[in-house]
Chain A
Amino acid sequence: MNMIEAINSAMHVMMERDPDVVVMGEDVGYFGGVFRCTAGLQAKFGKTRVFDTPISECGIVGVAVGMGAYGLRPVPEIQFADYIYPGIDQLISEAARLRYRSAGEFIAPITVRSPFGGGIFGGQTHSQSPESLFTHVAGLKTVIPSTPYDAKGLLISAIEDNDPVIFFEPKRIYNGPFTGYYDRPVEPWSKHAAADVPTGHYRIPLGKANIVRAGEALTILAYGTMVHVAKAVVEANGVDAEVIDLRTLLPLDIETIEASVKKTGRCLIVHEATRTSGFGAELSALVQERCFYHLEAPVERVTGFDTPYPHSLEWAYFPGPIRIGRAIAKIMKD
């Protein structure tokens, strides 16, 4: 299965097991979503459980909150993460705080799925990585898979979770992992062990990172597409780096991070989102707070630039092998 199929399979499994799971969003019904993530679900589960919505992100999220309050488990899709903003008040002020403000009497067990990230010539309105907006909010969980296997297991956990979850799908690797070189094709998932996705139900717990590659010299923290780019650079340069796929940004698996950085003494953080106030800043602060006396070099961040995503210079914007390679070289120098 590729990641799209794995995500589809997770919804399929959950809809079969739990009649309260409903899927909604722009174009998700008959058409199966512009990326086909919901293909076949409406035909199987009917129109009252899988349906198209008006183009109103505020409506989609707000209605999902109400459905959650009734007792359903809505899985709304926002067509692109760049379009989550009109729905953000319902996410930040409502979904995130429902449990808190009602002392646990109302909850919003919703999972908002949305493709995010660049690398597909989507220009500034189809490429953004807004994850840190959500990790800044108390009450939301933020999940980002990097393989089909993880995508399915994490999505199942997210749907079963009683808290609101933002589930960002790295669209650049929907069809296969990629090395960061835009002129090289995406590799099919079938070439990777991670592509073996069971058809049935399984969970990957939220809040648990994955050490995708063990190493002694350096810890690289990444998520989504950047896990693959970082891994490719490490392998090409023969660096003995430990690459950690965070999988969940909030709650964060601080134990795995801390243990790794204490072991390696060096930490590089890689994400595609803009740098300033990005999630890397949080990670960097945590590492300094907890591992300061073990550090051999300052924590480095490799990120997108603090500009909107430029259409034609997309590949100069993207944190690719050169930027990561240079950061590794710098960090290993000390």
Chain B
Amino acid sequence: MADGPLRSNLPPLELHVPEPRSRPGDPVDFSDVIVPAAGSMARPDEAVSPHDMRDLSFGLVRVLDDDHKAVGAWDPRLPAETLLKMLRTMALTRAFDERLYRAQRQGKTSFYMKCTGEEATSVAAAAAMQGDDMVFPSYRQQGILMWRGYALTEMINQIYSNRGDKLKGRQLPIMYSVPELSFFTISGNLATQYPQAVGWAMASAIKGDTRIASCWCGEGSTAEGDFHSAMTFASVYNAPTILNVVNNQWAISSFSGFAGAERTTFAARAIGYGIAGLRVDGNDALAVYAATQWAAERARSNKGPTLIEHFTYRAEGHSTSDDPSAYRSAQESAEWPLGDPIHRLKQHVIGLGIWDDERHAAMDLELAEMVKAATKQAEKNGVLGHGMHQPFETMFEDVFEELPWHLQEQMAQALEERAAKWPK
């Protein structure tokens, strides 16, 4: 090591390495999580200057109070129909995750990722946007497809990489692509969708369109350069974008401190860029709806982009390849101070007298059956474990619009190899 000038009268410098408050076997400590009362945050006009709404980047927009009543200025006052549709879609997302997670365990596919506990951050956000607003999701926003009515069998075909998979078995499971529902193709490379969403929104503005764009990433991914490039462009060009950060506390085994959460909030990242920043209770579907609606209105009226931090908790493992019990206290998810988003919305609609436990139990059964039926349907097209469902030609299609000579040669080679392997 280089010999620095040793000045014995100075204290040695120290490196700070963040450490979460609890590890496996420890009692859970959420004392650092400050939960302001529902309804306590002001709701500025959508046209407000980012400078005049700084406290919204540090507080927590909450609508549902401890008794599951909607209170305060952010209450979106949704009709019963919308509330019940959100509840149903969130429950469907969970039922789907349960079943497909099990399918992975049964060897029907290679990989799966659940969004348990985070259903509101996609479903309620989708509910507050127009159906043709473009979304650039990360890999836990299956709720958007559910909200937009995508066929479950199509999703499962993709997960199984089977004959029916319209992505020709190329993508990892859950990395959907549904342009007809304005759902951008998902990338496994974190945060790359962020500048792309801003670019799409800029294009929409260049063309004088009315559609806005929205993107999602995890709090861990905010450390990527792409996130910051996107923020700069969104700010410079006032791009009509909603930039969502789903702060679910964990990025695989790394807690949010490794993305900078010890110093400031993720919503406050907006401040340095002169962008509007909102921090919301991500387990409160009404708060997510209200914040998204606010941001969408702001973007649509050319008032600028909004960064929304959804403060939530990843109740399950990162993916089927993960074992969360190896790095976090088992009690965390049960003791998460903001509860469960489905339970909270359910209690809210029950309180309104438009729902009850019996109907909810019946709905859960119905949704489980629906997913099961869709799974059976998709399995008719095969599952990943049963071999290579796509014709070998498909491997070479779509690399370019037209097949160049070298890919033609390689395609011929692949077909020859297939004939050698499985002589018919």
Q: Footprint of B on A, CB under 8 Å?
A: 19-20, 26-27, 29-31, 34, 47-48, 51-59, 70-72, 82-83, 85-86, 121-126, 275-276, 305-308, 310-313, 315-317, 322-323, 326
Contacts and interface: CB of A to CB of B under 8 A. Distances in A.
Interface residues of B, number: 58
Given A31-B327, A47-B19, A54-B260, A126 B388 contact: no
B225 A56 contact: yes
Interface string B319-331: 0010000110000
Contact of A121 (B259, B327, B384): B384
B377 interface: no
Given A70-B1, A83-B189, A308 B384 contact: no
Interface of B: 1-2, 15, 17-19, 23, 110-111, 161-162, 165, 168-173, 175, 187-190, 220-221, 223-226, 251-254, 258-260, 321, 326-327, 384, 388-390, 392, 394-396, 399, 406-407, 410, 413-414, 416-418, 420-421
A30 B407 contact: no
Contact of B406 (A19, A58, A306): A306
Contact of B399 (A20, A34, A307, A313): A307
Contact of A123 (B162, B175, B224, B416): B175
B271 to A, nearest CB: 19
B417 A56 contact: no
Contacts of B389: 312
B327 A312 contact: no
B169 A313 contact: yes
A215 B210 CA distance: 69
Nearest to B220: A55
Contact of B172 (A59, A122, A306): A122
Contact of A56 (B223, B394, B418): B223
A123 B395 contact: no
A144 B81 CA distance: 59
B223 A305 contact: no
Contact of A275 (B175, B223, B327, B410): B410
Given A306-B410, A312-B161, A312-B389, A317 B395 contact: yes
A317 B392 CA distance: 9
Given A70-B1, A312-B384, A322-B420, A126 B253 contact: no
20 contacts: A31-B253, A54-B259, A55-B254, A55-B258, A58-B225, A86-B224, A86-B226, A121-B110, A124-B170, A124-B171, A275-B406, A275-B410, A305-B410, A311-B172, A311-B384, A312-B390, A313-B169, A316-B395, A323-B417, A326-B417
A316 B252 contact: no
Given A34-B252, A305-B395, A307-B407, A125 B187 contact: yes
B253 A27 contact: yes
What 9 A-B pairs have minimum CB-CB distances, sorted nearest first?
A125-B188, A312-B169, A54-B223, A31-B253, A123-B172, A312-B161, A121-B110, A71-B1, A71-B2
